[in-house]
Amino acid sequence: MFGEGYSIGQTILALFMHLIPVYIVLAALAVAWRWEWIGTVLFTGLGIFYIVMAWGRFPLLTYVLISGPAFVLAALFLANWVYRKELRTA
C-alpha cells in the first residue's frame, strides 16, 4: 500500500480501509468489557464470520490462527460471565 505510488489522500484512505477489521474488534471489545455475554456472542460471531467469508482460500491452519483467538476470547468472556459472582466476592 505504501509503495504503490498512491497520493497522500489515497494512501490514508487505503490505510483506513485496511484497518476497518481492527476497529470492529476494538468496538466489540469495548462492548464486551461491560457486558460479558455480549462479548461471547460478538467474538464467536466474528470468528465464524471470518471462516465463512474466507472458506476455501487458505489452508486449515490459517483459519485456526486467525479465528482461534476470537474463539478463545469468546470462551474467556463466557467464563467471566458464568463465574462473575464468585470472582467479585473473592
Condensed to tens digits (0 to 9), the pLDDT of residues 41-65 reads: 999 999 999 999 999 999 999 999 9
Q: What is the number of other CB atoms lying within 10 angstroms of the CB of residue 71?
A: 16
C-alpha cell read off for 7:
497520493
At 74-87, the pLDDT tens digits run: 999 999 999 887 87
Domain count, the chain: 1
- Cα separation, 21 vs 16, whole angstroms: 10
Helix (H, G, I), strand (E, B) or coil at 83: coil
In this structure, is residue 79 part of a structural domain?
yes
User: Do 5 and 27 form a contact (C-beta atoms < 8 A)?
Assistant: no
Q: What is the span of the domain harbouring residue 40?
A: 8-89
